[in-house]
């Protein structure tokens, strides 16, 4: 390529360094700190090579640098292989390549790496602003290519950006049609993202204190669009996991429930037989933020499920793979249901009554005592809930509990939040011989009044209890509701003291109405983006194409793409087709008139002869025309290059008056 012999332009280098900075900036938190420092160092180094006469690294220096970086990567990721380590490797190569940038031909590889890194950047952040940022990154990298190939002369930044903008605008329609019609093949192989996704979120165990951490986060958990009206808050129990195994301190899933450890056995194939539904199903769509976990959230109990989704024995939903990307799924639920009213089998009953030996002796005694005093299970439950209601306080700052957590909570501290209430209630029930278990998930959510969907955040995390009653099956009991009913009906922020509220995530937007409103609008925009752009999957594509074109065939799609490309080409080439020649400026038109007259009288201008030289030649050959032509030439030069209006007017009148005679 001819460019290889050229020198690297300063402007090209500046664009490259800027583009690299733009591309790498959002990834600063995804890669080790030393890599960021290395990127800055190589950038400065390359700049100093161009400006301060620093030298390119020699072979040995490069080798040492590469070995150091490899060692650093090995150390930082300790051999774990995932998207994040691959990305770091890629960035390391990208950054090191910069100090080998010598000729314009070297730009290409750097630019392609930058394109790929931009793609990775979009993988880690897919919100609306980060998408816009991704576009800016792509344009910046394209700008490097343009600056290095567009022109010999150095154009101003504005002019370059203008050119770039024109290209981008023309590329946009083609990109859109490709986006809409190119088939989605689906995942080919899996490389874990090992990203920090889902650091906050419901986890698969519940120890004292877990939930209070969760509730300090205002992060988005998921968003739900209901086809019909949104059900009352008391009905919005987003079920995720069932904990039926207690070791004295922590609630976990028993092996029968745990989908991650015993995936195949955990699937509940004929769950439909165990549920009795009554009432109309409500349909809704959930957009779940990446959790890095397998379970999904839904209202109990479901009547229709997406194909890929499985049901666990605890009547919860899960995916076969971890949810590493934002996931969209549609569920229909019937809120009025009975779960396993026919009865539990032996192992299930055993599990639902099991308690660890030697813990919470006081509670056990009291439970047995209350059991004998009560006429039936319902009455016992009412008594416990009533006890909660009278004595207990809802707070995010409970005092620390000792070895016998339930004893301490029930009979001493009497202050806590959902996990304490649910855990001790289930313990109490089991001790009294009633099958019970803890269910965790989210409760409630905030309605976005702008768009009519439900936003569920981490602080909506909740734990409640399920008790099995003969003839009724598993019945949901929420002990928290007995203590702080406003927690269930209005949301966690209404159930806490001011002091506690400070601990909740998202505290500012809760305090200031306008800020909260802005946040709602912003979230609505983001949600729509997620739903329509990120959620545009194979099914959505089929539906859309069918709506537009009826029957979808590959030929049809190829035709559509071709049509759009042709249309863009036409728009770009239109000025070329329209003009048969060069469009002349007014001054050139006037001068052309003079030229024509001169040609008629036998003194044409030679091809490529500059006007001034022409005038000089004519002055020698036809002295009679010298004055006129010299004056006209001077006016023409002033009008064309001096941008003078008066010169143009005088030139035009002089051209009209100019009537050379034939010799």
Alpha carbon 562 to its chain centroid, in Å, reads 31
The residue within the footprint of other proteins, chosen from 34, 167, 370, 549 (CB under 8 A), is 167
The yes or no reply on residue 172 touching other proteins (CB under 8 A) is: yes
Q: Out of 404, 462, 500, 523, pick the active-site residue.
A: 462
Instruction: Decide whether 117 or 381 has the Cβ nearer to other proteins.
Output: 117
Q: Is 462 a catalytic residue?
A: yes
State the DSSP H helix or E strand holding residue 651, giving kind and residue range, or none if neither. Answer: helix 645-657
The residue within the footprint of other proteins, chosen from 378, 583, 589, 612 (CB under 8 A), is 583
The yes or no reply on residue 568 touching other proteins (CB under 8 A) is: yes
Q: How many chain residues interact with other proteins (CB under 8 A)? A: 75
Q: Which stretch binds other proteins (CB under 8 A): 33-41, 165-173, 334-342, 434-442?
A: 165-173
Find all residues with CB under 8 Å of 119, minimum gap 6, and list them.
none
- CA–CA dist 41, 7 (Å, integer): 23
Q: Which stretch binds other proteins (CB under 8 A): 168-176, 385-393, 407-415, 519-527?
A: 168-176
- CA–CA dist 634, 615 (Å, integer): 10
Instruction: Decide whether 34 or 536 has the Cβ nearer to other proteins.
Output: 536
The nearest distance, CB 638 to other proteins, in angstroms, is 16
Instruction: Decide whether 365 or 583 has the Cβ nearer to other proteins.
Output: 583
**In the window 77-136, what residues touch other proteins (CB under 8 A)?**
105, 108-109, 112-113, 115-116, 118-120, 122-123, 126, 131, 134-135
Q: Out of 210, 478, 500, 523, pick the active-site residue.
A: 478
State the DSSP H helix or E strand holding residue 129, giving kind and residue range, or none if neither. Answer: helix 128-149
DSSP-assigned letters across all residues of 502-513: TTSTTHHHHH-H
**In the window 499-558, what residues touch other proteins (CB under 8 A)?**
533-537
The yes or no reply on residue 579 touching other proteins (CB under 8 A) is: yes
Q: Which residues on adjacent β-strands are paired with residue 113? A: none
The yes or no reply on residue 52 touching other proteins (CB under 8 A) is: no
Are 353 and 377 in contact by the 8 Å Cβ rule? The answer is no
Q: Which stretch binds other proteins (CB under 8 A): 176-184, 220-228, 379-387, 396-404?
A: 176-184
The yes or no reply on residue 45 touching other proteins (CB under 8 A) is: no
At 208, list the tokens: 């004292």
The nearest distance, CB 141 to other proteins, in angstroms, is 10
Q: Out of 408, 418, 420, 500, pick the active-site residue.
A: 418
Instruction: Decide whether 61 or 558 has the Cβ nearer to other proteins.
Output: 558
CA distances from 429 to 68, 215, 388, 402, 420 (A): 61, 27, 14, 21, 14
The residue within the footprint of other proteins, chosen from 563, 574, 592, 663 (CB under 8 A), is 574
Long-range contacts, 490-494 (Cβ 8 Å, 24+): 490/233, 491/233, 491/444, 491/446, 491/460, 492/215, 492/444, 492/459, 492/460, 493/459
Draw the binding track, 585-624, toward other proteins (x: CB under 8 A; -: no contact).
x---------------------xx----------------
**In the window 314-333, what residues touch other proteins (CB under 8 A)?**
324-325
- CA–CA dist 369, 184 (Å, integer): 63
CA distances from 191 to 72, 76, 89, 118, 194 (A): 21, 18, 15, 18, 9
The residue within the footprint of other proteins, chosen from 162, 369, 546, 569 (CB under 8 A), is 569
Q: Strand pairing of 393-394 and 415-416?
A: parallel
The residue within the footprint of other proteins, chosen from 69, 101, 145, 288 (CB under 8 A), is 145
- CA–CA dist 80, 71 (Å, integer): 14
What is the CB neighbour count within 10 angstroms for residue 473? 20
Q: List residues with catalytic annotation.
A: 418, 462, 478
């Amino acid at each position: 390529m001819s460019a290889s012999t050229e020198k690297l332009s300063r402007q090209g280098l500046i664009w490259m360094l800027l583009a690299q900075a733009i591309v790498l900036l959002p990834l600063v938190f995804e890669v080790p700190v030393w890599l960021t420092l290395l990127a800055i160092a190589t950038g400065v180094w390359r700049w100093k090579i161009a400006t301060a006469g620093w030298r390119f690294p020699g072979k040995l220096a490069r080798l040492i640098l590469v070995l150091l970086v490899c060692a650093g990567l090995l150390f930082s990721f300790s051999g774990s292989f995932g998207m994040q380590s691959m990305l770091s490797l890629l960035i390391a190569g990208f950054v090191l390549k910069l100090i080998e940038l010598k000729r314009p031909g070297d730009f290409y590889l750097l630019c392609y790496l930058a394109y790929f890194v931009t793609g990775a950047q979009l993988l880690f952040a897919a919100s609306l602003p980060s998408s816009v940022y991704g576009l800016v990154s792509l344009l910046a990298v394209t700008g490097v290519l343009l600056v290095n190939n567009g022109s010999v002369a150095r154009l101003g930044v504005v002019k370059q950006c203008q050119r770039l903008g024109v290209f981008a605008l023309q590329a946009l329609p083609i990109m859109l049609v490709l986006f809409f019609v190119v088939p989605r093949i689906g995942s080919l192989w899996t490389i874990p993202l090992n990203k920090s996704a889902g650091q906050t979120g419901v986890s698969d165990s519940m120890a004292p204190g877990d939930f209070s951490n969760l509730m300090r986060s205002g992060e988005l958990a998921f968003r739900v669009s209901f086809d019909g009206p949104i059900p009352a808050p008391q009905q919005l129990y987003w079920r995720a996991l069932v904990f039926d195994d207690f070791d004295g301190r922590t609630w976990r899933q028993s092996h029968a429930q745990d989908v991650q450890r015993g995936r195949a056995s955990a699937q509940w194939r004929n769950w439909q037989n165990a549920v009795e539904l009554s009432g109309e199903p409500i349909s809704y769509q959930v957009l779940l933020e990446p959790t890095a976990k397998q379970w999904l959230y839904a209202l109990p109990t479901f009547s229709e499920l997406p194909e890929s989704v499985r049901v666990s024995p605890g009547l919860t939903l899960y995916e076969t793979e971890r949810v590493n990307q934002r996931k969209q799924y549609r569920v229909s639920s019937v809120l009025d249901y009975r779960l396993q009213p026919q009865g539990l089998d032996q192992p299930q009953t055993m599990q639902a009554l099991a308690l660890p030996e030697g813990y919470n002796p006081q509670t056990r005694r009291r439970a047995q005592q209350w059991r004998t005093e009560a006429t039936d299970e319902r009455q016992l439950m009412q008594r416990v809930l009533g006890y909660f209601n009278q004595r207990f306080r809802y707070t995010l700052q409970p005092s620390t509990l000792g070895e016998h957590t339930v004893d301490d909570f029930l009979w001493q501290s009497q202050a806590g939040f959902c996990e304490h209430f649910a855990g001790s209630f289930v313990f109490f029930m089991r001790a009294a011989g009633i099958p019970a278990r803890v269910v965790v998930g989210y409760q409630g959510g905030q309605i976005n009044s702008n768009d009519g969907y439900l936003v569920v955040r981490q602080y909506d995390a909740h734990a409640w209890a399920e008790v099995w009653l003969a003839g009724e099956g598993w019945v949901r009991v929420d002990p928290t509701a007995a203590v702080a009913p406003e927690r269930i009906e209005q949301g966690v922020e209404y159930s806490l003291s001011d002091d506690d509220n400070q601990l909740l995530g998202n505290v500012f937007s809760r305090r200031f109405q306008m800020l909260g409103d802005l946040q709602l609008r912003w979230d609505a925009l983001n949600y729509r983006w997620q739903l329509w752009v990120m959620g545009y999957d194979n099914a959505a594509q089929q539906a859309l194409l069918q709506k537009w074109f009826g029957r979808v065939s590959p030929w049809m799609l190829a035709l559509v793409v071709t049509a759009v490309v042709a249309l863009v080409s036409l728009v770009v080439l239109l000025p070329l087709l329209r003009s048969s020649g060069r469009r002349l400026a007014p001054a050139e038109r006037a001068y052309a008139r003079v030229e024509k007259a001169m040609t008629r009288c036998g003194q044409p201008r030679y091809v490529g002869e500059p006007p001034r030289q022409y005038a000089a030649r004519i002055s020698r050959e036809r002295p009679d025309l010298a004055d006129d032509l010299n004056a006209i030439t001077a006016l023409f030069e002033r009008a064309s290059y001096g941008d003078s209006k008066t010169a143009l007017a005088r030139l035009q009148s002089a051209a009209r008056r100019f009537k050379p005679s034939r010799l």
